[in-house]
Structure 1
């Protein structure tokens, strides 16, 4: 890699599995425990998540664990954390990849600032960054009160995925740095926003998903290990939807007990519209796992709020998601979905359009929008119904994130795939009713009978910001568009 020409760019380097050969978390956690800053008791599943991280890279559960860091540190003294983290530096330096120091030196010789850009909290990694010769750190920052104690909140963005890009943009603005003249190094597909924003993305030790993405975008893969390796693009591949197959790892979700039935009903080829009921933000994960077991790939058609949501938005985008902005009234998303089906792909839709809330969530009669039926008829695609049950126990609507701490007693999530069917009628109402009836038949008996929920159960079906009467919304009309 040639970094000799001077510019007003910078080099942003990721930490875990990029600069380091493994995860920094176990080392930093051990230092904090040994200093008595945090409890000696590990979080449920913590060691397993670190092992998965070292093997396959970042996962959504590992980031959910990291996201809870601010709450875990609430009430702790900042100076105690900084002091304890210094004891981790020597062990972290042992994980630094052989060529990392020369890459840092090369950029500095070219006149570029070199910045460690990481999700890891600033207070536990800043000392290490200085010892490595970095000019600055862009990292997650925990808010501190006047007494120097952590408040349990973040001071700025959680510097992961789009949040990392936002923090880097702020840093560039303060230092008059041009992103278009900057480099970014990462191993993780979740750093796609930053890699895509800089002029010179560099892929290091990529996870399988980033390998596919780098192939599609012709991003060079470089080595921080092998002095003889040359930066080169990987073999070309445009099938980025194969990332869906990478979620067929039950160990990535130790907080869920999945059962899958009827996966063999998904046709091995040809255009297919997958239709499922909608109970939780976790539904996208459940459908992705199901499709991965079938050996095929899928594109999700969903409202734009799904793509803007934390964690689930990244997954939907990686799966080639087609964003629907209902306010625009545009037919473009339906056209894109039809084009995908014409090419023999699968498209997944939640015909209800949104998670029912209030009493409608417990209504045994499922109501859907026309979109799935219209799409299947206009493309002559096969329709495959999927019944989902229990996903709301993993991620209820009133929670910002799924509950990943249910390791010892994970909730049951049932996924039942029904028989393929063809829609013969030209009446979208009849076709939609048939789709919803077929989905309903795949649910357990308790999902097909009337049920009187408690107020607590009703509250879980509303967004966390909802303050009204949980029984006021007797019916959630899905609409027809």
Structure 2
């Protein structure tokens, strides 16, 4: 497919991050296949995670087609960009269409990006994850690749003002070992294994992060930060859902 929008968007983002001296630390990017389909599954702490998870595939020369809620595609600014980059809209009230579109993309040799927690984690710890990524990979016959992201929450996250012009922020991107589910796979068991892998990668990203002050809002409680606990975050998410209804 023609790539008219995606490459210039990536170049613009990379230029902006260089000007802001955003300091990337990436490990394991050689695990991204240079050809063929794969499901890239990341934790979700920031509205910029689409960009950072996509960077994980950049050294392999790959573009990631992310699954994102359909409202992003309906926005007058982000919508044309999302469609131009061939991302996959998700209608949460009718998810089968997005699932089928993702499986088709995987069989066509695309990398599909998925945030298996479904929403940003306000506690900055890993929430429970959906089984969709493992099911898609098993049906399409492609690997699942876990990715941990850390640092993006300092720039823009749920419930906090945007700080997109903040300088010198470190961003950690860790790519884990691929998983290879097959058609007869134990989906529940593999989903639990995927969550363990993501949690271990996230813990490594957090504990090796070069900037680790205590008492800051962007650190989880178990590392001395003041972010909501997982229980408090779940209550905030429930209140959000009630307001939307």
Question: Given that residues 65 and 113 in structure 2 are in contact (C-alpha distance below 8 angstroms), is that contact kept between their aligned partners in structure 1?
Answer: yes
Name the CA distance, whole Å, in 2 between partners of 1:242 and 1:297: 11
Q: Tell me which residue corresponds to 1:352.
A: 117
Name the CA distance, whole Å, in 2 between partners of 1:275 and 1:241: 25
2:3 is equivalent to residue 240 of structure 1: yes
* Closer/same/farther in 2, CA of residues 472 and 440 from structure 1, 3 Å limit: closer
Question: Given that residues 307 and 313 in structure 1 are in contact (C-alpha distance below 8 angstroms), is that contact kept between their aligned partners in structure 2?
Answer: yes
**Residue 241 of structure 1, CA deviation:** 7.2
| TM-score of the two chains, using structure 1 as the length reference | 0.41
Q: Tell me which residue corresponds to 1:431.
A: 190
**Residue 265 of structure 1, CA deviation:** 0.8
2:145 is equivalent to residue 381 of structure 1: no
| TM-score of the two chains, using structure 2 as the length reference | 0.77
2:183 is equivalent to residue 417 of structure 1: no
Name the CA distance, whole Å, in 2 between partners of 1:414 and 1:472: 23
Name the CA distance, whole Å, in 1 between partners of 2:121 and 2:175: 21
Name the CA distance, whole Å, in 2 between partners of 1:421 and 1:280: 25
Instruction: Write out per-residue CA displacement over residues 130-153 of structure 1, whole angstroms, 9 at most, x where no aligned residue.
Output: xxxxxxxxxxxxxxxxxxxxxxxx
Match of 1:324 among 65, 86, 90: 90
Question: Given that residues 277 and 388 in structure 1 are in contact (C-alpha distance below 8 angstroms), is that contact kept between their aligned partners in structure 2?
Answer: yes
* Closer/same/farther in 2, CA of residues 446 and 294 from structure 1, 3 Å limit: closer
Question: Given that residues 298 and 347 in structure 1 are in contact (C-alpha distance below 8 angstroms), is that contact kept between their aligned partners in structure 2?
Answer: yes
**Residue 247 of structure 1, CA deviation:** 1.4
Instruction: Write out per-residue CA displacement over residues 448-477 of structure 1, whole angstroms, 9 at most, x where no aligned residue.
Output: 8962653xx339x9xxxxxxxx93735969
Question: Given that residues 241 and 320 in structure 1 are in contact (C-alpha distance below 8 angstroms), is that contact kept between their aligned partners in structure 2?
Answer: no
2:166 is equivalent to residue 406 of structure 1: yes
Runs of 4+ with deviation above 6 angstroms: none
**Residue 368 of structure 1, CA deviation:** 0.5
2:11 is equivalent to residue 252 of structure 1: no
Name the CA distance, whole Å, in 2 between partners of 1:271 and 1:397: 31
- Between structure 1 and structure 2, the one with the greater Rg is 1
Report which structure shows greater RCO (CA 8 Å, sep ≥6).
Answer: 2
Give me the CA root mean square deviation.
3.1
Name the CA distance, whole Å, in 1 between partners of 2:92 and 2:98: 10
